[in-house]
Structure 1
Amino acid sequence: MLSLNYLRIVCSSRALLHPNWLMTRRQCVYEAFTCSAHCMSTCFPKKDTWHSNTNLRKERKLIYYTGRVSSPRNYCTGRVKVSCWNCKQPLDKTPAFFCMSCKVVQPPDDGTSYFKIMDCDCTFTLDTQKLQKRYLQLQRSLHPDNFSRKSVREQEYSEIQSALVNKAYTTLLKPLSRGLYMLELKGMHIEEGTDSGADSEFLMELMEINEALDEAQTPEEANKIGRDTKGKLTDLTKEIDDALLKGELQTAKALLAQMKYYANIEEKVKEKLSEFM
């Protein structure tokens, strides 16, 4: 094993012969540690981004274990220009579904929000018509049927991208799932099946609405409950939007919890109306 003194002599000699050598090595080490730390905090997808979709778990394997160690997608995309996996040309926008040079489908960009995927403003009152238009456009171009004669890799990427677009669309389409997702982006989550945050007066009101719906004898009675519920959901939508704009996340969380109950009643109204048909 080399002695410490010997290593000092070697390093000192190199530093004297090449004055920039020591600074270059220090800079490389600093940049390596900086990029690694950045990647650990930003580049790996969150748990809820991928959910439990089988194809999406397959994508993790494709992206991180293909052996393409030099690929920018495996490391820090915030500092390195992302390039096409096929022709190596830089991708000019994020998210990039296709390479503009060779036209092949690309894998998903890690950590990209549903709002960015669907090209929508990150707001609770987004334009649903624009959302639907974007969805149809992406599905027409990304549908796996379009890649049946392409390479296996392109087929897999198209399946993953198509599934991701579906998930983004269904999440952002309805106000409740959209609001819950916005809270998740900010690190907040409403646990399923819990009502500890609801006060007794509110729960009593819900109980009375459910009882009235169960006892409804005509479509008119059920429709009246449906209209009242829709009005409450409209009011809640305005209140939630206002709370999110002000950054009052706890208030938005409580209002979204109420919206979940009324959304359930709205579904029960539809079921009740189907019984009269």
Structure 2
Amino acid sequence: MKSLPMQQSGAARFLRGLSSSRSPLSPVLTRSRAVPATLPSSCCCPSHNARAVRLYSAPQRPPSPPLGLCPFPRHKECWSCHTALSAADVFCRSCSKIQPVALGTSYFELLSAHTSLSCQPGDCDGASAEDSIFYPKFALDLQQLRRNFLTLQQSVHPDGFTKKSPEERKYSEVQSSLINKAYQTLREPLSRAKYMLGLYNVKVEEGEAPVNQELLMEVMEVREAIEEAEREEDLEEVRQETKAKMNETIASLDEAFGAGDLTLAKALTIELQYRVTMEKALKEWDQP
């Protein structure tokens, strides 16, 4: 079999370098760290995780992930007419003026890709009846997400605010930029998983090795298949297998987030990083 030349795609070179001791993903240099499967201490409500679990288990509550977030304030005031608004409101319900981005507003809230439950007495320390517990969702309807994005982006685009006040022009630019970044992040499972973990102060480093060492063997096999391939058809079966395993990892991620298991969610996100890289390398293959 003829090997591919060294100037092959960057993704393929990346796979080829995984066995090197200098590779940023080498298990010799980097080991994954376990993370607690509870909300971090930086959550505004230290006792909130246990309370959120009770809410999740209660039969009268709709099903939602047991890990809720409640960064305060969950509401804001219109800068123009002083009407009380929710933190994620882009426009005032009273005067219709565009609003600044509230501190702590997540991409999920901005694009309506979450579940919110009203705070009940004792749910969150210092919460009022106007506050709510925010539950991000990993599994998203991507078509609905895009519709939400397009509708919102059209309503805040700076071109529509050229004759407005300086405040409104500034807020439209900020909102437009944030909405675009939110969509680009949530549309892809890997960036969505990293962002969702980040909401709980769990960070996934680019160089972290997978907990499942068998995955490294898969990387080696994909690398060898790429180097030995002479025709596009030679990689078709490998591509299908890689895609199927990546979909399995994404499904497992949804289950991990749904169960509130952040340790498993982080491990699966690291695994997904590898699978995305393998898929990219297979797509970028060029006939030698």
What's the TM-score once normalised by structure 1's chain length? 0.66
Higher-strand-fraction structure: 2
Q: What secondary structure, in the 3-state scheme, does the structure 2 residue paired with 1:140 have?
A: helix
Residue 174 of structure 1 deviates from its aligned partner by 1.0
Q: What letter matches 2:197 in structure 1?
A: L
Q: Could you tell me which residue of structure 1 aligns to residue 181 of structure 2?
A: 167
Q: Distance in 1 between matches of 2:259 and 2:271?
A: 19
Q: Distance in 2 between matches of 1:41 and 1:184?
A: 12
Q: Could you tell me which residue of structure 2 aligns to residue 62 of structure 1?
A: none
Distance 1:115 1:102, change over 3 A: same
The 5-angstrom pairing of residues 189-200 of structure 1 reads: 189-195=203-209, 197-200=210-213
Matched, 1:88 2:88: no
RMSD: 2.1
Residue 206 of structure 1 deviates from its aligned partner by 0.6
Aligned counterpart for 1:245 among listed residues 228, 248, 258 = 258
Q: State the identity %.
A: 40
Q: Distance in 1 between matches of 2:236 and 2:99?
A: 47
Q: What letter matches 1:89 in structure 2?
A: T
Aligned counterpart for 2:92 among listed residues 94, 99, 106 = 99
Q: Could you tell me which residue of structure 2 aligns to residue 77 of structure 1?
A: 73
Mapped contact 1:213–1:225 kept (Cα < 8 A): no
Q: Distance in 1 between matches of 2:234 and 2:169?
A: 51
Distance 1:189 1:126, change over 3 A: same
Count residues with an aligned counterpart.
198
Alignment deviations for residues 203-237 of structure 1 (CA, whole Å, 9 cap, x no partner): 12211212212332222223322211110011111
Q: Radius of gyration: which is bigger?
A: 1
Q: Could you tell me which residue of structure 2 aligns to residue 31 of structure 1?
A: none
Alignment deviations for residues 38-90 of structure 1 (CA, whole Å, 9 cap, x no partner): xx976xxxxxxxxxxxxxxxxxxxxxxxxxxxxxxxxx735xx6321122233
Q: What secondary structure, in the 3-state scheme, does the structure 2 residue paired with 1:134 have?
A: helix
Q: Could you tell me which residue of structure 1 aligns to residue 139 of structure 2?
A: 125
Mapped contact 2:112–2:148 kept (Cα < 8 A): yes
Q: Structure 2 stretches of 5 or more lacking a match?
A: 1-41, 45-71, 115-135
- Tell me which of the two structures has the higher relative contact order, counting C-alpha pairs closer than 8 angstroms and 6 or more residues apart: 2
Q: Distance in 2 between matches of 1:175 and 1:271?
A: 20
Q: Structure 1 stretches of 5 or more lacking a match?
A: 1-39, 43-75
Q: Distance in 2 between matches of 1:222 and 1:268?
A: 11
Residue 200 of structure 1 deviates from its aligned partner by 4.1
Alignment deviations for residues 164-219 of structure 1 (CA, whole Å, 9 cap, x no partner): 11111111111111111121111211111232x44543212211212212332222
Q: Distance in 2 between matches of 1:109 and 1:125?
A: 25
Q: Distance in 1 between matches of 2:213 and 2:43?
A: 41
Matched, 1:176 2:182: no
Q: What secondary structure, in the 3-state scheme, does the structure 1 residue paired with 2:217 have?
A: helix
Q: What letter matches 2:93 in structure 1?
A: M
Q: Distance in 2 between matches of 1:127 and 1:239?
A: 17
Residue 96 of structure 1 deviates from its aligned partner by 1.3
What's the TM-score once normalised by structure 2's chain length? 0.63
